[in-house]
Chain A
């Protein structure tokens, strides 16, 4: 056999070196899929009948209900309730048809998989992205057409009917936008769900993960519309914009996850219908012991540290820089916040550092003089204070708990939680430093209180946050040639390596410094 072909699997990073298609080509190819799917949807009476009913009949029912309700509540002098039901029903008229998008999306993705009609499509030159865009559009177009149609019918009946409603154009625009992003969230979520299952039954069961949060959002939106449905209410219409913006972020993240999981490998090679816990644990253990890209296990703790842990830190890549940037922004934001007059604390111009210095001195055992204040009250009772070892445990467990919670929440929030929870403390630090500077104090006492242990603690926290961010965000951008499961397992292995190899020892060391060194440094600065 001739062996002119070059080995190719060694380097997955170079996979997909084929010439890239332009955005226009991608869209053109995606629309081939969309056109077929939409035609197919409109051939299915089970989809067509609800769409027709929800577009042309439900709006009239809603208009009737709105009119009756307005009449009813006005008899009791509560016209405002009737008036505010109208935009709420407009949203409902728009939402009911888009709820079908979930059904179509589940059918389009997992239904095709179940009927085995997906594999011929996967055998064509279409890229994963083209297939994904084509199918996502196909799942959205019929319900959105129906939704907009229904809303127009309802609006028409309100504008020209007996209610003669005159809504604010901005509110209508918001409801239209809300409807669109809700459809996008549901479809994007459905793709993620259905790409991991092999049956519509399993997909329908998992769809509750989309329906439950979505119904909570709808309830929130309804509440906002009832309390403040006009553009003059900053807490009302502004809140709707915030919901639209928040949902757009969710859409972007879900679309990224969807694009990652909607690939041939995931669709044909993976299923979570049967969870192989043992294999998953073995894979995580392997990733945690690995010292190189091939997953070679470490032969000693020294090798694990020298090669495995450093490899995991290197793999954090962009996550480290993003985390560092967010920490700097958080600290800077706190400093800026302190400049705002309404946020400034009424600190005295001349601060008395002598008392805290003596209290601290007493605690660390270098100042035995202070026992009571001028009125004879005991100022510092060492018996009521934690020992230095207790303090160490307290610092380690507090920091550890925050980092653990941030990492766990990051898994379910595409890494966002890690970037909110841990840097929040640094907003406070920046704010306090700002206050100290504005009050004209010498900031050296703050630096003395933070830096001795902070030089260890802060890098460790940044590192842990970056690992949490990567663990959560890896599903939105899976490295070429890897499945979502592989990429996540690898990220979890790296997180465990960083946690055990650097974060935990770092927190213990920082806690030791904070308990045994920082008080001395602070005491010397204060006194």
Chain B
């Protein structure tokens, strides 16, 4: 649904985006992560046909972002980094204005606007001027604006950054529901927990280049190694290391616990449990050590920094 190959953007000799390639099938969510100024917004602007790429190509919902710019913009819903509302307008009036731009019939745009306002808990603020909305309400209304014309592709820049936990959950639920309906999402966010929760794929962009791309599991495997298991026993670990050395490779241990990497848990975990049983050691718990996207992201950035440093020196 979103394809990009070698997408590049230069501004006055400065390369903001450097040969970015993406492929997001229909019904998937891709989270584009990266530090501030990494090129996320410029990438999104090229994918929404706002900026013309200096090189490379991209297609969104089957339309070329340069040749079919108007079609692309009709097929995507965009939540910009800044909500950018007209503060003297009222909620319904604002949505009606955008609905008219998308050529929705008056009755249809009113119905869709009311449904979405209801869904996002804004129905009671219909008659308020947008200047009176809270930051979170403004962001939700901007999201409603992006969804108003029922686009198959949504590009959301920090969709929940200003929201309270309840509103953020409403938005996440909406994304999951729409994804289920076959909508395609590109999220740019600094909220790594949210990205991990929502994204089928993650791409990390730094200095305009995609430095890593894949599912969370793939990235975690590649950058922080095989899954880490933690075993708690009834007794002490001392002396066990030698007995378990041929079954698992212990990375760390305490008085009654130990951690090991399980590149193939289906094979190593039963083998370990059998060995412990043979040794008469009682197992209290055996669990996967949770790995967060934050760990993975920081490792990706660290490795890229090191690589950059090596190249510079």
Contact = CB atoms under 8 A, between A and B. Distances in A.
B5 A279 contact: no
Contacts of B88: 40, 43-44
B206 interface: no
Contacts of A2: 3
Nearest to A31: B100
Contacts of A44: 88
A123 B52 contact: no
Interface stretch (A8-16, A223-231, A454-462): A8-16
Contacts of B89: 36, 40
A125 B14 CA distance: 28
Interface stretch (A112-120, A148-156, A315-323): A112-120
Contacts of A36: 86, 89, 97
B73 to A, nearest CB: 5
A436 B56 CA distance: 64
16 contacts: A1-B23, A5-B3, A7-B5, A8-B65, A9-B52, A9-B56, A17-B67, A32-B97, A43-B88, A118-B84, A123-B76, A124-B98, A124-B102, A269-B11, A279-B14, A485-B12
Most-contacted residue by chain B among A115, A124, A280 (CB, 10 A): A124
A362 to B, nearest CB: 61
Interface of A: 1-3, 5-9, 12, 14-18, 29, 32, 36, 40, 43-44, 115-127, 264-265, 268-270, 276, 279-280, 282-283, 481, 485
Contacts of B23: 1
B97 A9 contact: no
Nearest to B50: A264
A15 B84 contact: no
A117 B86 contact: yes
Given A6-B64, A12-B52, A16-B67, 12 more contacts: A7-B57, A8-B64, A15-B66, A17-B67, A18-B68, A116-B80, A117-B84, A118-B84, A120-B145, A124-B102, A265-B52, A270-B11
A119 B101 contact: no
Contacts of B152: none
Interface string B124-166: 0000000000000000001001000000000000000000000
A492 to B, nearest CB: 15
Contact of A120 (B64, B76, B78): B78
A1 B84 CA distance: 35
A17 B11 CA distance: 25
Given A1-B3, A2-B3, A18-B71, A9 B101 contact: no
B48 interface: yes
Contact of A264 (B5, B21, B51): B51
A111 B108 CA distance: 32
B53 interface: yes
Contacts of B48: 123
Interface string B69-102: 1110110101011111110110000000110111
Contacts of A125: 70-71, 73-74, 101-102
B55 interface: yes
A100 B107 CA distance: 37
Contacts of B76: 123
A27 to B, nearest CB: 14
Nearest to B155: A123
A92 B191 CA distance: 58
B117 to A, nearest CB: 17
A345 B2 CA distance: 76
A114 to B, nearest CB: 11
A125 B61 CA distance: 14
A369 B254 CA distance: 122
Contacts of A3: 3, 5
A269 B52 CA distance: 10
Contact of A116 (B13, B51, B82): B82
A124 B101 contact: yes
A395 B202 CA distance: 69
B54 interface: yes
A3 B58 CA distance: 10
Most-contacted residue by chain B among A29, A115, A119, A282 (CB, 10 A): A119
